[in-house]
Structure 1
Amino acid sequence: MPEEEKLVNYYSCSYWKGKVPRQGWVYLSINHLCFYSFLMGREAKLVIRWVDITQLEKNATLLFPDMIKVSTRSSEHFFSVFLNISETFKLMEQLANIAMRQLLDNEGFEQDRSLPKLKKKSPKKVSALKRDLDARAKSERYRALFRLPKDEKLDGHTDCTLWTPFNKMHILGQMFVSTNYICFTSKEENLCSLIIPLREVTIVEKADSSSVLPSPLSISTKNRMTFLFANLKDRDFLVQRISDFLQQTTSKIYLDKNISGSYISSDDEVFTRSSSLISASPHKSLSSESEGERQFNLNDNGIPTATQALMTMYRRRSPEEFNPKLAKEFLKEQAWKIHFAEYGQGVCMYRTEKTRDLVLKGIPESMRGELWLLFSGRF
C-alpha cells in the first residue's frame, strides 16, 4: 500500500475462498478494500480497488442470513459473519461512491475544508477519519434534500415540532442548522418542509415554556412570517449556534453592500456629469413637453360621462378572452394566489403536498420565473 493511503475502519468477518471460509479482518481504506487472514499456517490476502468494484450487494442465504457480495469485472467475492453488517455495508457504499466521483472529476477527490485535514507525520485515528466521512455524507444528504448550494455544510440537526398555522397542528420532524440556512422536514413524508435562509431572519428568541409547549423557539423573518418550534432538547446551545451564524451572515451582507456601494457611487458620478451636460444644452427639455401632453390629455378625459361608465361595465370582450388556454392560465394563477395566502409566499413558505400537486398541475406563465427560482434551489 502507498504511504499516503488512509485507513478508515476495519471489521471482523469471514471471506469465502472457494468453499472454505477464512476468518479474518476486512480493512476499508480510502482507495482499497482489503482482507487478511492467517489461520492454521495458511495466509489469505485480498486487495480490491474501489474503482474496480461494479456492484455491492447485501444478500441473505439459509446458511448465512447476512452476507456481502462484492463484484468486479472479473470475479465475485463473498464476506459473512459480521458483528454489524449494516455499518460495514454503509461504509463500503460510501467509499465506493467517493471512488466513482474521483474517476468522474479530473481534479480528484477534494476533502471538505471544514473537516480537519491529515498531517503527514501524525497519522489520524480510524474513528476520527470515519467521523469526518460520516459528516461529509450527512452534508451531501442535507443539500440534496433541500436543494441547497454545493458549499453548504451541515452543522447539526435535532428532533423538534413545528406549529403549522394552516392546519393548526404541531408536526413532528427534524430541524437542520447549517452555515446559511435553517431547514425543517416532517417525519411523515411530504407533510411539511421549510427552508429559511439566515439572511431573511430578523429575530430568534426563546419563548416561554409550558406543559403543552416545552422549550419553544420563535424565528421571525423579513416578510413578517413567524415560525414556532418546540420540544427542542438543547435549546440554549441551538440558539447560540444560530446567533453565531447570524452574526457571520450579517457581516457578509454588510461587506457585500460596501463593495457594491463603491460601484454604485462611481456610477452615480457618471450619471450626474451626464445630467449636468444635458441641463446645460440650449435645447428644450423633453420633460416639459411630456408634462404638457399629459396635462392636455387630462383636460380631454378629465370629465367622466355616462357613456364611459357604461363602456367600462358592459365593454365588448375580445375573442382572445374566450380562449380556453387563457382561462386555464387564469385558474392556475388564482390557485397559486390562494395557496400563497394560506401557506406564505417566497423562500420561507410552508412547502406541503399541496404545493407539490400545484407544481405538477402546471405553473402559470406570469409566475414561472419566480416559482422556477424558488423550487429549483436558485434562491
Structure 2
Amino acid sequence: MTEFHAVTAGVPQNVFTLPTPTDITLTPFWTTILQKDNFLLQRSSSPGNHLFRNLVSTIANVFDTKLPPFRILFQREVNTMCLQIAVGETEKAINAAWFWIEKNMMPELETIDHPLDRERWVSEKINMIVTEIESGTDELSSDENVRNASRTFRQIFDIPHSERFVSYYSCAYKSRQGWLYISENFIGFHSYILGVETKELIELKEIQEIKKEKSKGIFDDSLRLITKDKQEYYLSNMFKRDEVYDVLVQLTGQAMQRWLKNAGGDAPGQSTDAAFTAAELSSKRSIQQTHRLLADGSKSPHHQLVSPLKQDLATQKRNNNYCSRFRLPADQYLISGLDATYSKDAAADRDPHFLSQVPPGVVHLIGRVYLSQTFLTFESEERLPAPQHNLPVCKAVFPLYTIKRVERLNKGAYTSGVAITTCHRMEHDFFLHAEKNACEQFCETLKDLLLKQIPLFKKVKPFMATCESEQIFQTDSLIDTRVHIGGLGLEFGYAENSKKSKDRSKTKLWKLYFQENGRNLTMIKLPTFGKLVRVGLPNSLRGEIWEASSGAMYLRFANQGLYQETLDKYKDQKSTSTEEIEKDLNRSLPEYPGYQSPEGINRLRRVLTAYAWSNPELGYCQAMNIVVSALLIYTTEEQAFWILHILVDRFFPGYYSTNMYGALLDQITFEQLVEKTMPILWNHFKRTNVELSVACLPWFLSLYINSMPLEFAVRVLDILFMEGPRILFQIG
C-alpha cells in the first residue's frame, strides 16, 4: 500500500479519467497543441463563423455531447485507436496533468518496446491513479455514459467533484428544449439553442412538492416542482415522466432525511458518563479502523468500478419494497424471483366441527416466489376483495433455517419445481414457470443459501420454545414448553375478560389454523388469518401474532440474546434518555394493575432503556412509554423490545424523534383526507378555529392507546400489525 500511495503522490486532481477508446478521425473539432512520444494534448476548436459555432453548440446540447475544452490522449501507433486518459476545464488544469505525465510516465514508457505493452502499461497506470484519487466519485462508474454526463453536469453548474450523478432526461422548461440533470442533492436544467442559454439549479432539500400534470391538458408528460419559497418550475415534453417522478420522490425523501438527522443535535441516548463514553468511542474507532484495514488489504486498487447511482437507487428501492411487503429485516436483499404455482394439501386429521370457521388449508395459487439471503417467500397474484384489494390472497414467508428437507419436483418436460418440508412437518410445493436454465439456477441458489443456514438450525427449537403457539400443541410437539410464555397479563389480568371474549373458542380456532397453515416462524397467511384477527385474538396468543404479523419475530430470532446483553452492558449507566424515562414510568397506563407494582414498572424501564441504548441517535421519545406499556401486557420484554424496533424504524419513521417530523407530516395528510372526504365537518372545524392536527397528534403518537378504553385499543393494534399504519387514518 505504501508503494501505491507513493505512485499517486502529487497527481493533479479531477483531470485523469478511466482510459476510454476514442477514434480521433470521427471527432474533427479538436486541435492538437502538444505531442510528445505517444501522448497528444488537444483543445476543442470551434468554427470561425459565429452562426455556425452557435449551430454546433446547439447540436451538442440537443444530443448532450458537450465535451470539456481540453483532453489528453494516448496513441500506441499512428492511425490506431486512441485512449482518452485526461480531460480538463481549464488550460492550467490540463497543463498540470501534461507536466505530470512528462515527469512520471514518459521516462518509464521509453523502456517498453512493444506498442501493445506500452498501451497496457499506460492503461493500468491510469486505472490505478483514478481508482485511488477519484474514490467515491462518478469517474469510477462502470457506465461510460454516466461518467461523461457527470462531467458535463459538473462543468455546466460548477458542482463539487464529489457529487454523485444519477441520470439525465430530455425535457422542456419555459418552452425551451434541453436536458434535466439529476444528482444526489441537485436537480438542474440546461438548454443552449442558437446562442441563447437557459440554466436552473435547485437543491433537492428545497423542493416542497412534486406534482404530475398534463401538458395542454392532454399529454401525461409534465411535472411541476414547488420549492419552500413557493417558486414553481414547470417541466414538460418529458417522455419518461413517471420514472423521473419516482427518482425525484426517492431522492428528495433521502435528502430530507439527511437534513433532519443533521439538524437533530446530540444523540439523547448517548451516555453522560464521560469515561464510559470515551472508552466506547475509542472501541468503536478501533473496530472501524480494523474493518477498514481488512477491506483495504483484501481489495486490489485496480478496476474498482462502482455501479451507477441510478442503478443503486433502483436496487435499493426494489429491496426496500421487498422487505416491506413481506415484513423482513431491512438487511435482506432480493436475489431471485420466478413466477410459480404454490401448492399445499390440507392437514391429515382435523375436527370437522370447525370446517365452517377454519376451512381446509388447501392452497393452489399462481404467484411469484422470491429468494433473499435468509428467506423463501411467496405472494399470490390473486387479491382479496375490496376494500382489501391491495392485499394478496396468500402470503408465505419461510426462513431458510426452518426448512428441514428439499426435494426437486419434475412435472412434465417443461416444468420443474421444489418441495420444501418445514420444521413443523408441513410440505409446500412450488412449481416454477420459467425456462429450464432459470429453474436450475433458482434451485442451485436455494441449495447454496440453505447450506449457509446450517449453523442456525440448532437455534430453532430453543427459539420456538419461547412461542406460546407451541404450548397448545404440547401433547404432540417436539418443543419443551412447560412454562407459559407471556406478558404482565398472565399475572395481573388482561384488558378483555377472557370469558366474555370467548378466549377458549378462539384458541381452538387458532389451533386449527396453525395445524393447517403452520405457526410462528413458518405460518402462511390466507384470508382466514385476517378473519380470525378481526374476530379478536385470544389473550394468550396476542403477543405472538403481533410479532409474527409485524416481522419482529425474525429480528428476535436473528438477534437472540442481544436484549439481555444490552441491559448488562449499560447497567447503571445514565443518559438524557434514561432520565426522561424515569419521569414517564408512572404515567404509563396507571389504571392497569401491573403498573401499580414494581414488577410492571421494572419491566417497562428495562425495555425502554434497552431501546434507548440500542438506538442512541434517537434515544427515548414521549409516547414510547404508552406504546410499550400496552405491549408488555401481552408480550415478554424481549418481544416488546423488537416490536418497538419495528414500530419506530419501519411502521412510523420520524414519529418518535426530537422533532416528530413523521407524525407532523401524517397530520397534514390526515387533514387533507378529512377535507376531501368530510367537507361539512372540515368547514365546521374551520369556522370554530379547531386545529385538527393539534387535537389528533396524541392519537397517532400513542396509537390510540390513550384515546379509548384499552380493550378497544388492543384491537386497533391487532389490525395495525396485520395491515400496517393506514389503520390509524381509518380509525381517525
- Work out the CA distance in 1 between the residues paired with 2:302 and 2:215: 45
Which of 231, 249, 265 lines up with 2:453 in the alignment?
249
Please tell me whether the aligned partners of residues 192 and 198 of structure 2 are also in contact (alpha carbons under 8 angstroms).
yes
Which of 138, 160, 165 lines up with 1:2 in the alignment?
160
1:266-290 deviation per Cα after TM superposition (whole angstroms, max 9, x unaligned): xxxxxxxxxxxxxxxxxxxxxxxxx
- Work out the CA distance in 2 between the residues paired with 1:150 and 1:56: 27
Q: Determine the structure 2 residue equivalent to 1:309.
A: none
1:22-47 deviation per Cα after TM superposition (whole angstroms, max 9, x unaligned): 11000111111111111121111111
Please tell me whether the aligned partners of residues 338 and 368 of structure 2 are also in contact (alpha carbons under 8 angstroms).
yes
SS in 1 for 2:367: strand
Q: CA deviation at 1:51?
A: 1.0
Query: Taking every aligned residue pair, what percent have the same amino acid on both sides?
Result: 30
RMSD: 2.8
Q: CA deviation at 1:363?
A: 1.0
SS in 1 for 2:211: strand
Q: Determine the structure 1 residue equivalent to 2:550.
A: 376
Q: Determine the structure 2 residue equivalent to 1:85.
A: 241
SS in 2 for 1:199: helix
1:102-141 matches, within 5 Å, as: 102-106=258-262, 128-141=308-321
Q: CA deviation at 1:232?
A: 3.4
Please tell me whether the aligned partners of residues 64 and 80 of structure 1 are also in contact (alpha carbons under 8 angstroms).
no
* 1:6 maps to amino acid: R
- Work out the CA distance in 2 between the residues paired with 1:378 and 1:158: 27
Q: CA deviation at 1:120?
A: 11
Q: Determine the structure 2 residue equivalent to 1:70.
A: 225
Which of 178, 197, 201 lines up with 1:24 in the alignment?
178
Q: Determine the structure 1 residue equivalent to 2:620.
A: none
- Work out the CA distance in 2 between the residues paired with 1:52 and 1:121: 39
1:319-358 deviation per Cα after TM superposition (whole angstroms, max 9, x unaligned): xxxx883462222212212222332222222201221121
Q: Determine the structure 1 residue equivalent to 2:399.
A: 197
1:136-285 matches, within 5 Å, as: 136-165=316-345, 166=360, 168-189=362-383, 190-210=392-412, 214-233=415-434, 234-251=438-455
Please tell me whether the aligned partners of residues 370 and 376 of structure 2 are also in contact (alpha carbons under 8 angstroms).
yes
Please tell me whether the aligned partners of residues 217 and 235 of structure 1 are also in contact (alpha carbons under 8 angstroms).
no
SS in 1 for 2:512: helix
* 2:169 maps to amino acid: Y
Go from structure 1 to structure 2 and tell me whether the alpha carbon gap of 1:214 and 1:167 turns closer, same or farther (over 3 Å shift).
farther
1:129-186 deviation per Cα after TM superposition (whole angstroms, max 9, x unaligned): 3222111111101111111112222223222111143464531111111111111111
- Work out the CA distance in 1 between the residues paired with 2:263 and 2:523: 38
Unmatched segments (≥5 aa) in structure 2 = 1-158, 265-299, 346-359, 384-391, 461-496, 554-732
Go from structure 1 to structure 2 and tell me whether the alpha carbon gap of 1:145 and 1:343 turns closer, same or farther (over 3 Å shift).
same
Go from structure 1 to structure 2 and tell me whether the alpha carbon gap of 1:121 and 1:341 turns closer, same or farther (over 3 Å shift).
closer
Please tell me whether the aligned partners of residues 506 and 537 of structure 2 are also in contact (alpha carbons under 8 angstroms).
yes
Q: CA deviation at 1:208?
A: 1.9
Go from structure 1 to structure 2 and tell me whether the alpha carbon gap of 1:22 and 1:135 turns closer, same or farther (over 3 Å shift).
same
1:94-144 deviation per Cα after TM superposition (whole angstroms, max 9, x unaligned): 222221222233499xxxxxxxxxx9998967x733222111111101111
Which of 211, 236, 243 lines up with 1:57 in the alignment?
211
Please tell me whether the aligned partners of residues 198 and 246 of structure 1 are also in contact (alpha carbons under 8 angstroms).
yes
- Work out the CA distance in 1 between the residues paired with 2:186 and 2:305: 17
- Work out the CA distance in 2 between the residues paired with 1:365 and 1:154: 36
Please tell me whether the aligned partners of residues 401 and 456 of structure 2 are also in contact (alpha carbons under 8 angstroms).
no
1:183-238 deviation per Cα after TM superposition (whole angstroms, max 9, x unaligned): 11111233001010011012222112227x82121111111111111133211111
- 4+ runs of 1 displaced by more than 6 Å? 119-125
- Work out the CA distance in 2 between the residues paired with 1:245 and 1:107: 41
SS in 2 for 1:152: coil
- Work out the CA distance in 1 between the residues paired with 2:498 and 2:420: 44
Please tell me whether the aligned partners of residues 424 and 518 of structure 2 are also in contact (alpha carbons under 8 angstroms).
no
The answer to which structure has the higher strand fraction is 1
- Work out the CA distance in 2 between the residues paired with 1:222 and 1:253: 10
- Work out the CA distance in 1 between the residues paired with 2:531 and 2:234: 45
Q: Determine the structure 2 residue equivalent to 1:41.
A: 195
- Work out the CA distance in 1 between the residues paired with 2:428 and 2:193: 62
Go from structure 1 to structure 2 and tell me whether the alpha carbon gap of 1:215 and 1:371 turns closer, same or farther (over 3 Å shift).
same
Please tell me whether the aligned partners of residues 64 and 81 of structure 1 are also in contact (alpha carbons under 8 angstroms).
no
| 1:95 has 2:251 as partner | yes
SS in 2 for 1:206: strand
Aligned residue pairs total 297
The answer to which structure has the higher helix fraction is 2
State TM-score, norm by structure 1: 0.71
Please tell me whether the aligned partners of residues 402 and 457 of structure 2 are also in contact (alpha carbons under 8 angstroms).
no
* 1:245 maps to amino acid: L
- Work out the CA distance in 1 between the residues paired with 2:263 and 2:313: 19
Which of 513, 522, 525 lines up with 1:339 in the alignment?
513
SS in 1 for 2:509: helix
Q: Determine the structure 2 residue equivalent to 1:268.
A: none
* 1:83 maps to amino acid: F
Q: CA deviation at 1:68?
A: 0.8
Q: CA deviation at 1:86?
A: 2.0
Go from structure 1 to structure 2 and tell me whether the alpha carbon gap of 1:341 and 1:249 turns closer, same or farther (over 3 Å shift).
closer
Please tell me whether the aligned partners of residues 361 and 517 of structure 2 are also in contact (alpha carbons under 8 angstroms).
no
State TM-score, norm by structure 2: 0.38
